[in-house]
Chains A and B, each alone.
Chain A
Amino acid sequence: MSGSGSRRAGRSSGRSPAPGSGVLVPGGPPLPVAGDDPGGLRELELGSRRRSRLFNTPRRAVAASTVSTIIVVAALVVLFMLAPGSANVRHQFFDLQAMWASFKGDPRQGFYSVGKAILVNIEMFCLAEVLILILALVVALIRLSRSPVLFPIRVVTVAYVDFFRGVPLIMVIYAIGFGLPALNLTFVSSQSAFVYGTASLVLAYSAYVSEVYRAGLYSVPLSQVAAARSLGLRSSTAMRYVVLPQAIRTIIPPLLNDFIGLQKDTALVAVLGTVIEANRASQIYASYAFNFSSYTVAALLFLILTIPLARMLDRTIARDRARRLAGADT
């Protein structure tokens, strides 16, 4: 055994090992070298196979994860139920009667339906999101432009982004919602609080989203532009058909993140008074009945909106990733 090992070692001395043959060690099995396994994929696969030996059938894995989930959730529920003030908190936050009453609403009694109020939020963030995606893209493209003629506009966009990212949203809403009407201008001062609130959201969020766009546009390798230009595409055409599609694919997750943030920030518009959205409706019910269950209703409604969106996004990302990896293989 040791003799054969030394013989092999002796034979290979003075020659570099052939690619893919592995490094020979006296008395040991051949070790893999870098060139042997591009990206270490085989090693990773081996690792996962080793790890899953405990749950080596899919059914066992599902059973194990189910049991562990049940145990964790049950422990948390028990902990919550056993807390000294549990009954009190359950009554104040999860009272089914109060939740239903606040969901339905009763304006004559002095409180509004949280279920109807969430429609105001939906209307606001859908309208705002469309405008944000457009305005933010325009701002990002201006910031990325290199034309000397556009210099003053570039300065304006930089100032705009700096300002609206730095100022708290609530102040933007106050300034626009209370400031513009007080100016007594013909068109600008006679809009509804809904319009002022949505406009504030658009202004503030476009500043954030334009930076997301910019990062996405920068993430596309310059060689892509060079290749497109060398094919004879004009720079605007290259941007439209080569850079933007790749950039947007990359930034869909952060865009959705901002979209979800926007959904919840619509609640801030309530400071303008006439916009009775879900959070404000909950607050009114809470002060009517001295019970916070209405906030739970609003929270559940927001979750119903965001969770499907998040799952849809996960699916999109997974599909996109699979497609890209498949492309890398060929």
Chain B
Amino acid sequence: MKLKSLAAVALVALAGAFASACGSSSPAASSSGSGSGSTTSSGSAVSCSPSAIQSYLYQKGQLTVATDSPAYWPWFYKNNPSDGVGYESAVAYGVAAQLGFKRSQVHWVVEPFDSSYAPGPKHFDFDVNEISVTPERASEVTFSTSYYDVQQALVVLKGTPIVTKHTPADLKQYVFGDQVGTTSLTFINSKIQPTHTPAVFNTLNDVKAALAAHRIAAFVTDTPTAQYIASSEIPHSEMLAQFPSTGEHYGLLFQKGDKLAVCVDHAIAKLKADGFLAKQTKKYLKLYTSVPTIKP
């Protein structure tokens, strides 16, 4: 067994040395990749009968749902996605129920954001990880329709200048921070347009440390995350305000052209129509609907 894995590692390393100039590739994983670039998600020809859904699944008989670890409140509760508590966990179970899965048939896996869009076959049916839908991203993966409309918000330290001075002109002079890979950076650069280059951190924990150490004046993230972090993660911090909506929204991430996405879109439409999403929003994200809005 040990020899086998050693041989596999050697082989992959060898193949990797030739196949790509980039260290982060995994040619072995992508060797069976789907070269099909066909976009099926728009077709109404896709069947969503229980047997058809079974044929779209990553693993027969179960719905494999992915998210990153750690998973944060209010999206998940205590890094445990399988308890159905937290907005995204509730949405995932709501979608699963609409597709005809029992709770016990929902299987959670960990998928870091950076690998969720890597080439090659996905190891999940869909990924629910506060991923913003953009046209660029949508050309590489398939997204569901919106399950949450996002606004960006500011987390600041109490008593710092930004608390009182935050007109659009004032905002330009501060150093902003965000987590790498989020659309917050696009928001900062395109809407706030600060004079200092924003700081981009690996994890939320790093952003928190930077704010606490006064390395950045404010931290930009979605309103629910901002509220949670300000209220319980960083001492002496507060959520200053949120910015107006730019039409940004979160979607579930699928393998490009995955037919299951069509069925999930139907499911989300039903969850919207019957008030399920509104109920979950009220339950988990109610705090965040009455937040002051400022202009970037």
B-binding residues in A (CB < 8 A): 76, 79-80, 83-89, 91-93, 107-111, 178, 181-182, 193, 270-274, 276, 280, 283-284, 286-292, 295-296, 299-300, 303
A107 near B118 (CB under 8 angstroms)? no
Q: Which of B22-30, B156-164, B228-236, B263-271 contacts A (4 or more CB under 8 A)?
A: B22-30
B140 near A110 (CB under 8 angstroms)? no
Give A178 to B181 CA distance when docked, in angstroms: 21
A291 near B190 (CB under 8 angstroms)? no
Give A271 to B210 CA distance when docked, in angstroms: 11
Give the interface SS of chain A, mostly helix, strand, loop or mixed: helix
A–B complex contacts, Cβ < 8 Å, 5 sampled: A84-B31, A87-B35, A178-B209, A272-B199, A273-B199
Chain A proximity mask over B40-72: 1 for CB below 8 Å, otherwise 0: 000000000000000000000000000000000
Give A291 to B256 CA distance when docked, in angstroms: 13
A181 near B189 (CB under 8 angstroms)? no
Chain A proximity mask over B171-199: 1 for CB below 8 Å, otherwise 0: 00001010011110111011000000101
A-B pairs with lowest CB-CB distance, top 7: A85-B33, A110-B186, A273-B199, A287-B181, A290-B140, A92-B119, A290-B117
Chain A proximity mask over B200-216: 1 for CB below 8 Å, otherwise 0: 11100011011011111
Nearest CB in chain B to that of A92: its residue: B119
A76 near B18 (CB under 8 angstroms)? yes
**Distance of A208 from chain B, by nearest CB (Å):** 21
B213 near A84 (CB under 8 angstroms)? no
Q: Does B6 contact A (CB under 8 A)?
A: no
Give A84 to B201 CA distance when docked, in angstroms: 36
**Distance of B200 from chain A, by nearest CB (Å):** 6
A85 near B21 (CB under 8 angstroms)? no
**Distance of A170 from chain B, by nearest CB (Å):** 10
Q: Which residues of A contact B286 (CB under 8 A)?
A: none
Choose one: B20, B137, B140; the contact of A89 (CB below 8 Å): B20
Give A107 to B189 CA distance when docked, in angstroms: 6
**Distance of A291 from chain B, by nearest CB (Å):** 6
Given contacts A108-B189, A178-B213, contact A273 B200 (CB under 8 A): yes
Q: Which residues of B contact A274 (CB under 8 A)?
A: 175, 197, 199, 215
Choose one: B32, B136, B181; the contact of A84 (CB below 8 Å): B32
Which interface residue of A110, A111, A289 has the most chain B CB atoms within 10 A? A110
A292 near B24 (CB under 8 angstroms)? yes
B213 near A88 (CB under 8 angstroms)? no
Choose one: B120, B200, B216; the contact of A284 (CB below 8 Å): B200
B120 near A85 (CB under 8 angstroms)? yes
Q: Which residues of B contact A110 (CB under 8 A)?
A: 183, 185-187, 189-190
Given contacts A87-B35, A89-B119, contact A182 B20 (CB under 8 A): no
Q: Which residues of B contact A83 (CB under 8 A)?
A: 19, 27, 31
Given A289-B140, A292-B24, A292-B119, 14 more pairs with CB closer than 8 A: A85-B35, A85-B120, A88-B120, A89-B20, A91-B119, A110-B185, A181-B214, A193-B215, A270-B202, A273-B215, A274-B197, A283-B114, A287-B182, A288-B134
A296 near B206 (CB under 8 angstroms)? no
Q: Which residues of A contact B139 (CB under 8 A)?
A: 290
Give A195 to B236 CA distance when docked, in angstroms: 28
Q: Does B113 contact A (CB under 8 A)?
A: yes
Give A289 to B138 CA distance when docked, in angstroms: 9
Q: Which residues of B contact A283 (CB under 8 A)?
A: 114, 180-181
Q: Does B34 contact A (CB under 8 A)?
A: yes
Q: Does B141 contact A (CB under 8 A)?
A: yes
Give A292 to B35 CA distance when docked, in angstroms: 17
A287 near B114 (CB under 8 angstroms)? yes
**Distance of A70 from chain B, by nearest CB (Å):** 15
Give A135 to B209 CA distance when docked, in angstroms: 30
Given contacts A92-B119, A287-B181, contact A280 B200 (CB under 8 A): yes
Nearest CB in chain A to that of B256: its residue: A88
A271 near B202 (CB under 8 angstroms)? yes
**Distance of A285 from chain B, by nearest CB (Å):** 10
Chain A proximity mask over B108-144: 1 for CB below 8 Å, otherwise 0: 0000011001111000000000000010110111000
B114 near A286 (CB under 8 angstroms)? yes
Q: Which residues of A contact B186 (CB under 8 A)?
A: 109-110, 288
